[in-house]
Amino acid sequence: MQGWSGLIEQRLAALPCSVALEWPGGRAGTPNADVRLKLNESRWLGALASGQIGDLADAYVKGQVDIEGGMRQVMAVAARLVGDPVRDDATSPWQRWAGQLHSLLRHSRDRDARQIEFHYDVSDDFYALWLDPRRVYSCAYFRDAEMTLAQAQEAKLDHICRKLRLAPGQRFLDLGAGWGGLLLWAAEHYGVEAIGITLSKNQHAHVNRLIEQRGLAGRVQMHLLDYRDLPEDQPYDRIASIGMFEHVGRANMVSYFAKIRQLLRPGGLVMNHGITAGGLRNSQLGGGMGDFIEKYIFPGGELLHVARVTESLSEGGLELLDAENLRPHYARTLWAWSDGLEQHLDTARALTNERTVRAYRIYLAGCAMSFERGWISLFQLLAARPSGREEDGLMRGAQSDFPFNRSYIYR
């Protein structure tokens, strides 16, 4: 182990904060360090030296590594160990082809339902510990720096409704409606007829309880349904997909947008809000982080660069109208979630188990760090199904309800 000790000391000296490291038969670093790592097996020294933090995270979940210290400092260390995953982990053409085939095979209706259940049906009470009161599980919109998480989530819901130009009497569809935040906000504040779908049994039951409690049974519906099975006989005026398309799979991306086109009336608008890759050739986060998230958090989740997303959107027959990057907003959102979980660790363990809590501690803080550094991003893409008629819209040739300026969003 003497060779490892010298290499480890060099790595620790270059880190952005003090780190103490202990393993069977050895120790290194500063005794009273900001971050303390205990490796219960010496074999994890190799992962530390090579920057494979996904392996270390996996070992932490299994109890083979223990971590002490604030999560921001832990992630500062992790970021330095990884380097630049966007630059260093670009996939080859062969890997991209293999990934496309893998994506096609793992996104059947049954597999998608099981993958969604794996993540979203962990425990409603567990998510309630660290989400806002509406349980909005997607990037918030901090319109000003003083906003709380709850205020920023309401600002996000309203931002989406304004972009979609929701109005009373419209038929509005929410794909992957979660715990109903946007669905209920749109119905109560904009008077739309709102229909939501989810593959999560817990979310389906929760939202239907809220619909009854708020007396919205005549205007709001929530269905346990795959988006591919939505009937197309009654078109929608507006569609939102918020934090859902990451589960679709790159192999299905064109058909996903084509399905949305078929569900929209000519001239109707759709908002696709979701996570995108930081690099053009990165299929997942580097340093083993993507594999960790696949195993413990989001099985079946896949990321594309926004350029690939917009290409698929166009191939699906939609016209891109407006794109907004909310990457730093998601970093702040995730840190708020991470802080919320850190404040309730004992309760979280009682609701779930130690492995789940450890996995989510790494996932939330790791994703916050990844958004801060631009390794992943978040885009709101507003698009339309062109009507083909020059006279439609507020401007001749618009072919949709979009006014071709942003002023209406901010009035």
CA distance linking residue 26 with residue 14, whole number of Å: 20
Of the listed ranges 120-129, 139-148, 277-286, 336-345, the one predicted with least confidence: 277-286
CATH code for the part of the protein at 95-410: 3.40.50.150
Residue 43: predicted pLDDT: 84
Residue 111: predicted pLDDT: 55
Strand 193-198 and strand 220-224: the pairing is parallel
Residue 247: predicted pLDDT: 85
CA angle (139, 287, 292) in 5-degree steps: 60
* Secondary structure, 3-state, the chain: CHHHHHHHHHHHHCCCCCEEEEECCEEEECCCCCEEEEECCCCHHHHHHHCCHHHHHHHHHCCCEEEECCHHHHHHHHHHHHCCHHHHCCCCHHHHHHHHHHHHHCCCHHHHHHHHHHHHCCCHHHHHHHCCCCCCCCCCCCCCCCCCHHHHHHHHHHHHHHHCCCCCCCEEEEECCCCCHHHHHHHHHHCCEEEEEECCHHHHHHHHHHHHHCCCCCCEEEEECCHHHCCCCCCEEEEEEECCHHHCCHHHHHHHHHHHHHHEEEEEEEEEEEEEECCCCCCCCCCCHHHHHHHHCCCCCCCCEHHHHHHHHHHCCCEEEEEEECHHHHHHHHHHHHHHHHCCHHHHHHHCCHHHHHHHHHHHHHHHHHHHCCCEEEEEEEEECCCCCCCCCCCCCCCCCCCCCCHHHHC
Of the listed ranges 9-18, 210-219, 256-265, the one predicted with least confidence: 9-18
Of the listed ranges 79-93, 146-160, 190-204, the one predicted with least confidence: 79-93
Residues 223-231 have a mean pLDDT of 95
Radius of gyration of the chain (CA): 23
Residues 48-68 have a mean pLDDT of 88
The pLDDT tens digits of the residues spanning 241-278 come to 999 998 888 888 999 999 999 999 999 999 999 999 98
Of the listed ranges 7-11, 118-122, 214-218, 330-334, the one predicted with least confidence: 118-122
* Predicted confidence (pLDDT) at residue 104 exceeds the cutoff of 50: no
The answer to whether the CB of 60 falls within 8 A of the CB of 35 is: no
CA angle (260, 261, 266) in 5-degree steps: 135
Residues 26-30 have a mean pLDDT of 84
228 pLDDT band, cuts 50/70/90, is very high
The pLDDT tens digits of the residues spanning 138-159 come to 999 999 989 999 999 999 999 9
Residue 97: predicted pLDDT: 42
Amino acid sitting at position 360: Y
Average pLDDT, the chain: 87
CA distance linking residue 146 with residue 157, whole number of Å: 18
Q: Where are the domains of the chain?
A: 2-83, 95-410
Residue 153: C-alpha distances to residues 126, 131, 141, 275 (Å): 19, 10, 6, 17
118 pLDDT band, cuts 50/70/90, is very low
Percentage of residues in the chain with pLDDT exceeding 90? 62
Percentage of residues in the chain with pLDDT exceeding 70? 88
Residue found by looking up tokens 């949709």 in the block: 400
The pLDDT tens digits of the residues spanning 343-392 come to 999 999 999 999 899 999 999 999 999 999 999 999 999 999 999 998 88
- Angle at which helix 71-82 crosses helix 327-342, to 10 degrees, equals 130
> What homologous superfamily is domain 2-83 in, according to CATH?
SCP2 sterol-binding domain (3.30.1050.10)
Which residues participate in catalysis according to the annotation? 367
CB atoms within 10 A of CB 258: 17
Q: Partners of 22 in the beta sheet?
A: 27, 38
Residue 23: predicted pLDDT: 87
